[in-house]
Amino acid sequence: MRKGFIRMVSVALAFLFLVRPSAFADFAFSEERFQGDFSTANLDRIIREYELFDGWYWTTEANVSQDFHGRENCPGWTKTTESLGYRRYLDGWYGCRWSVDRLLPTSPGRGGYGECFGFAQFIGYLLSGDVNPQHHWPFFYSVKSAKGLKVGDIIRTEYTWKGKPVSHSAVVYAILDGRLLFLQVSGSQYNRISIGSFSDGHLKDIRTEEDVAKLPYLKISRSKLNQPVAKDISAKK
């Protein structure tokens, strides 16, 4: 009985090993052209290169290596099935995932960070070269301790409102006369890309440092490469 059980386990492990190349896609994405430049102009170059235009969607075709380009009018999923707790995906497409090790194309709900959080991590990587800003960038838990916001900062809020979880991540895109613009996607809108005010679905129209300072459980992450400068040089729109 014991020998039979060991044999079954061995066969199962061998099967998993054999199917691994087709089930997992090794994470080999690399991009160095935008590193070290934390400016709106550089973010604009990223937007053009990866087609992350306002109003497009951060989605990719299923079962192929992700290229992280946006797709116009092609949301990655169609609706939320509340009772089952997962999103029903549109055939042939799914929301991009930012994975630090490997991707699982056949399971869009796994294989890395997704939605607004994954998108912010992706942009953070392009700016800094660090595939995992969440773990490696320094954190600040108030605008005051961060000594203000800078282009390229990742803003995160995560809390519970009326018994439901609320969270959102966004990248500071520009600072214009004290007004903030954020580059972000909305998971509740099929990874729709936008450049505008910060909104987590509950708290909306966050446009100033004073507004950001009031966000519950605020977390600001900033690359060590994003050093203080005498004056913000964000490109004017």
For the segment 162-175, what is each residue's pLDDT rounded down to a tens digit? 888 889 999 999 99
Phi first, then psi: give them for residue 159, nearest 5 degrees: -160, 180
What are the pLDDT digits (tens) for 186-205? 988 888 999 999 988 788 89
Query: At 151, which amino acid appears?
Result: V
**Residue type at 212 in one-letter notation:** V
Q: Which residues of 1-32 are buried (b: 16+ CB within 10 A; e: fewer)?
A: eeeeeeeeeeeeeeeeeeeeeeeebebeeeee
Give the per-residue SS3 of 39-74: CHHHHHHHHHHHCCCCCCECEEECCCCCCCCCECCC
pLDDT tens for each residue of 17-41: 333 333 344 556 889 999 999 999 9
Residue 218, pLDDT > 70, answer yes
pLDDT in tens, 50-88: 999 999 999 887 777 778 999 888 777 766 555 555 566
* Global model pTM greater than 0.85: no
Q: Is the predicted pLDDT of residue 44 greater than 70, yes or no?
A: yes
CA dihedral 97, 103, 108, 112 (to 10 degrees): -50
Nearest to 212 by CA among 137, 119, 148: 148
Q: What are phi and psi of 54, to 5 degrees?
A: -55, 125
Dig out the tokens for 190 from the structure: 């099929």
